[in-house]
Amino acid sequence: MLPGSSGSPNNPMGRVIAVANQKGGVGKTTTAINLAASFAAAEVNTLLVDCDPQSNATSGLGFAKDPDRVNSYHMLMGAASAEEALQTTELEQLWLIPSHKNLIGANLELVDMEGREFRMRQALAPLRDRFHFIVLDCPPALDLLTLNALVAADSVLIPMQGEYFALEGISELLDTIERIRAALNPELAIEGVVLTMFDDRTNLAQQVKTELKNFFGDKLCTTTIPRNIRLAEAPSHGKAALVYDPRSKGAESYIRLAKEMIERQAGYGQQPSPEAPTTEDAVGHGGDQAAAIEEIPGAEKMDKTA
């Protein structure tokens, strides 16, 4: 059954969260799958949209490659509605809009289309009041697909690996967010920065965490995601970690992250208030992120040894 079609009371205006970082392999897809699964396990209707031609979120939830299945490419190109692309999953309150590698073509095909940055926003609009959360898994590039996701989103969650080069490229992402806010989506906020593959026993990890805290302040999620083998194994079984091994540290950490985000959302209230944190809070004054990054103790040193 489709969410909302039962007239259920679970009928909020969905919060659209893009999981983005143009850096590859930082844990975007692991975060998108497991955060979405944890929201669903908290009994709120949740939709995961695979916006990446690599289709890792799709295969990670157990969907085999199938070019004939309606997917996010068809949705973006206007060949199918978002509703037609919805797939049910093993978790009762989790739905998926899958991807396929043909989505790579959208980057080129969209270039000449009218409103090319708004395609995903428009496609998802009819579904927003049917889900509490809509989680968008972005590709590792600041391309038209990520742009579409950021224009569709209310907020962006940035997974960062707790390692030496964590801040590399972050100014480019923050610049992009600022430009999108200025021109295309003024409401786009930073949901948070989450440390992934984090090993809190090392001095280096602690140092990186302190630096990120100095830079991002409250935007740095309290919950960190440990390096955990179950998180790496679960996708090959086509399952979220909380289904594959609910008691693993990895599954537990994403459940905590979901709880933290639900609490933050409750804190914001129904309407965005002037007090609600904005991108400005995270990126410093006047959007001069590069300068702000240079102010982070040790950041310069980190870059030079890159």
Task: Give the DSSP per-residue string, 62-95.
Answer: TPPP-TTS--HHHHHHTSS-HHHH-EE-SSTTEE
Q: Indicate whether 23 belongs to the interface with Mg ion (CB under 5 A).
A: no
Q: Which stretch binds ligand ATP (CB under 6 A): 6-14, 177-185, 221-229, 276-284?
A: 221-229
Q: Does 25 bind ligand ATP (CB under 6 A)?
A: yes
DSSP code of residue 198: B
Judged by beta carbon, residue 30 or residue 155, the one nearer ligand ATP is 30
Helix extents (H) in 126-240:
144-152, 170-183, 203-216, 229-233
Residue 155 or 224 having the CB closest to ligand ATP: 224
Q: At residue 97, what is the residue type?
A: I
Do residues 154 and 188 touch, judged by C-beta distance below 8 A? yes
Rg over CA atoms, the chain = 18
* The amino acid at 60: G
Give the shortest CB-241-to-ligand ATP separation in angstroms: 9
Which of Mg ion, ligand ATP, none does residue 205 bind (CB under 5 to 8 Å by kind)? none
Yes or no: say if 198 and 231 are a contact pair by the CB < 8 Å rule. Answer: no
**From the list 15, 23, 28, 100, which residue makes contact with Mg ion (rule: CB under 5 A)?**
28
Closer by beta carbon to ligand ATP, 89 or else 146: 146
Nearest CA among 215, 220, 243 for reference residue 230: 243
C-alpha span between 184 and 135 (Å, rounded): 19
Spatial distance between the Cα atoms of 33 and 234, rounded to a whole number of angstroms: 10
For ligand ATP, give the closer residue by CB, 237 or 301.
Answer: 237
Tokens of 65: 């490659």
Minimum CB–partner distance for residue 300 and ligand ATP (Å): 25
- Regarding 29 and contact with Mg ion (CB under 5 A), the answer is yes
- Residue 248: name its binding partner from Mg ion, ligand ATP, none (Cβ under 5 to 8 Å by kind): none
- If one asks whether residue 56 binds Mg ion (CB under 5 A), the answer comes out as yes
- Pick one of 15, 16, 20, 28: the residue that binds ligand ATP (CB under 6 A): 28
Residues that bind ligand ATP (CB under 6 A): 24-30, 52, 54, 56, 140, 196-197, 225, 227-228, 231-232, 250
Residues that bind Mg ion (CB under 5 A): 28-29, 56
